[in-house]
Amino acid sequence: MNTKTLAGITIDVNDEGFLMDADVWNPALALAIAQEEGIAELTPAHWQVIDFCRHHATANGAAPTLKAIMDGAGITTKELFALFPKGPAKKVAKISGLGKPEGCV
């Protein structure tokens, strides 16, 4: 476990940078993580996906898969990759303060 400070708070993360405690997550922290991941700003489309992922994780106990995100957030694969390039399921889970989605390498 590692510690780092983002958006003015110190957080515990695993070796891949995922939050260890989803309860410390907040929108300012999401923006700071997004910027670390190369996403300069979070648009309403980003927030639609992030909100879906957080609701899904609360209901199901885990971050959603790529297919679940597309179906649940009403977004195409192309749109998802445009919003969260280079591994969108993993990237959106990290920004959403969730654990690594099952099936992600």
Answer yes or no: 104 catalytic.
yes
CB atoms within 10 A of CB 32: 19
Residue pair 66/104 in contact (Cβ under 8 Å)? The answer is no
Residue of 1, 60, 104, 105 marked catalytic: 104
Active site residues: 104
